[in-house]
Structures are given as C-alpha cells and as structure tokens.
C-alpha cells in the first residue's frame, strides 16, 4: 500500500471514529435521560432538542437568529483580522514604534474584554455595531501580537540575502515575509473564528433582541434547557463550518506552497 493511500485510509478511520464517538455520546445522553439517570429538566435530551430545532426551522424563526449572529461574527473576524494584520505590518516596519507600543499591547491583551463588554457597547451602540466591536476587541490584540511574531521570525539569512541585492523593506515584505506567513495568518483566522463567536454571544447576552446568544439567554431565563442546548447546537454547527472553511483555504495554500507556486 502506498504512503498516500495509507494516509487516506487513516484519515477515513479517524473520521469514522469521531462520528461513532459523537453518536455514542448522544445515545448515552438520550438513554440517561429516559432511564432517569440524568435529570431531563437540567440536561434536556437530544430528541427534545432536535424536535424544538425542527419547530423553529418550520416557522423560520431560527433563520433570523442565525443570520444576525453570522453577520456579527463574520464582520468581527474580517475587520479584526485585517486590522490586526495591518497593525502588525506597521510594527514590523518600525522597530521604534514596536518598542513604544509593546507595553500597551501587553496590557490590552491582559484586560478582561468580556467584563468590559457593557462599556464597549455603550461607546459603540446597542445594535450590531456594538456587538461587532466586542468581538473585535477579543481577537485584535492577539492577532497583532501573533502576526508580528510570525513576521519577525522569518529566516534572517533570506532577509540578508535580499538586502544584499538592495531590496528595500517593501520588497522584502511583499516578496518574502508576507508570502512566507500567509498560511500562519490563516491559522490565526481559524483561532479568531472561535474568539469572535465568544464576543458575539457575550454581546447578544447583553443587548441583542435576536441572535443565537439571545436565544440561549432567553432559554435560560425561562428554564427551557432544550432551547439553551438548541442554541448551543446551532452555534457549534456554524462555528465548525466556518472553521472548516478556513481550514480548506489553509490546505490549499499549503499545497500551493509545496508545489512552489
């Protein structure tokens, strides 16, 4: 068996194992509530969650919640990631500016953004804008720091070689530093997806009248844990789909880099 076929078979086995593990967890959860090992009031049960999701899907109410949360998350990821990368580029181009701003970035990274979310929403507004600002605040500093660290860790010998050919900073960055870190930037975006969802859900807990976070909060307020778990299920599905989308882009870039394109 070739190495390529062996890797493909191993991947199939891993996927099947993950699916079986998921089915087993769901089956044990359902059985536990039906046999009264688990309290259905506290844990709900998969069949009730699926039934409620089907009801929300039929009356199309769930789509409004999904649309709002997806819009806020996508905006948060795009704006936060692009802004963070641009700031990292500016820091890479000026060591003096980096030394000046480094202590402030460290402090900002340590701040509890979720605790400060109400203040941010007051500053930015109580609509989609405020929630997007909360999402951006959670991911932007770590994006700046991670991207900057990737930029400065490019092989110094390659940089020195380009300088020997009289390449300027712009040429070094566009021809070497940025292309060498494109895959790393996509990896940062993958992390940002999860952090953006955290920011969006926190924001929706506070002010939103729609969205998955609002659905989860409302379910908790009226002690409908099937509604809470339905919101968590929908959140998990779309967070995973966004992550896999970024993962596919990352794999394409890795293949192109391997082929020297």
54-66 pLDDT per residue, tens: 999 999 889 999 9
Structural contact between residues 33 and 45, judged by C-beta atoms closer than 8 angstroms: yes
Q: What proportion of the chain, given as a percentage, has pLDDT over 70? A: 97
Which of 28-32, 65-69, 161-165 is least confident?
A: 161-165
pTM, full prediction: 0.86
Total count of domains within the chain? 2
Per-residue pLDDT tens over the stretch 138-175: 999 999 999 999 999 988 888 888 888 888 888 889 99
Which of the two residues, 231 and 260, has the higher pLDDT score? 231
Report long-range pairs for 78-82 (Cβ below 8 Å, ≥24 apart): 79/132, 79/136, 80/135, 80/136, 80/139, 80/140, 80/143, 80/192, 80/196, 81/139, 81/143, 81/185, 81/188, 81/189, 81/192
The mean of the pLDDT values for the chain is 89
CA distance 130 to 144: 21
pLDDT of residue 163: 87
In this structure, the answer to whether residues 249 and 136 fall within a common structural domain is yes
In this structure, the answer to whether residues 29 and 93 fall within a common structural domain is no
In this structure, the answer to whether residues 157 and 246 fall within a common structural domain is yes
pLDDT of residue 131: 92
Question: What CATH number should be reported for the domain holding residue 186?
Answer: 1.10.3720.10
CA distance 258 to 82: 25
In this structure, the answer to whether residues 25 and 74 fall within a common structural domain is no
In this structure, the answer to whether residues 19 and 71 fall within a common structural domain is no
In this structure, the answer to whether residues 16 and 137 fall within a common structural domain is no
In this structure, the answer to whether residues 195 and 148 fall within a common structural domain is yes
In this structure, the answer to whether residues 112 and 224 fall within a common structural domain is yes
In this structure, the answer to whether residues 26 and 147 fall within a common structural domain is no
In this structure, the answer to whether residues 82 and 122 fall within a common structural domain is yes
- How far are the Cα atoms of 45, 199, 204, 231 from residue 62, in angstroms, in the given order? 19, 20, 15, 9
pLDDT of residue 258: 63
In this structure, the answer to whether residues 212 and 97 fall within a common structural domain is yes
In this structure, the answer to whether residues 27 and 128 fall within a common structural domain is no
pLDDT of residue 197: 94
| Structural domain containing residue 23 | 1-38
pLDDT band at 1 (very low <50, low <70, confident <90, very high): low
Residue 3 has pLDDT above 80, yes or no: no
């Amino acid at each position: 068996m070739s190495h390529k076929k062996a890797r493909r078979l191993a991947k199939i086995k891993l996927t099947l194992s993950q699916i079986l593990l998921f089915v087993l967890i769901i089956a044990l959860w359902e059985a536990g509530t039906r046999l009264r090992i688990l309290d259905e009031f506290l844990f709900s049960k998969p069949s009730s969650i699926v039934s409620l999701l089907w009801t929300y899907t039929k009356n199309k109410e769930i789509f409004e919640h999904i649309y709002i949360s997806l819009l806020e998350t996508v905006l948060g990821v795009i704006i936060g990631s692009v802004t963070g990368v641009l700031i990292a580029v500016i820091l890479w181009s000026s060591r003096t500016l980096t030394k000046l701003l480094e202590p402030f970035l460290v402090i900002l990274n340590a701040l509890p953004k979720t605790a400060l979310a109400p203040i941010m929403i007051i500053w930015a507004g109580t609509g989609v804008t405020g929630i997007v600002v909360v999402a951006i605040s959670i991911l932007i500093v770590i994006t700046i720091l991670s991207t900057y660290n990737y930029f400065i860790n490019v092989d110094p010998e390659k940089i020195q070689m380009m300088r020997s050919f009289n390449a300027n900073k712009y040429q070094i960055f566009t021809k070497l530093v940025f292309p060498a870190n494109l895959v790393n930037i996509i990896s940062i975006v993958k992390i940002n997806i999860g952090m953006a969802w955290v920011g969006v859900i926190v924001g929706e807990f506070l002010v939103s009248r729609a969205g998955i976070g609002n659905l989860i909060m409302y379910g908790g307020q009226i002690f409908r844990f099937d509604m809470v778990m339905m919101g968590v299920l929908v959140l998990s599905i779309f967070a995973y789909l966004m992550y896999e989308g970024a993962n596919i882009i990352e794999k394409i870039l890795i293949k192109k880099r391997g082929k020297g394109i």
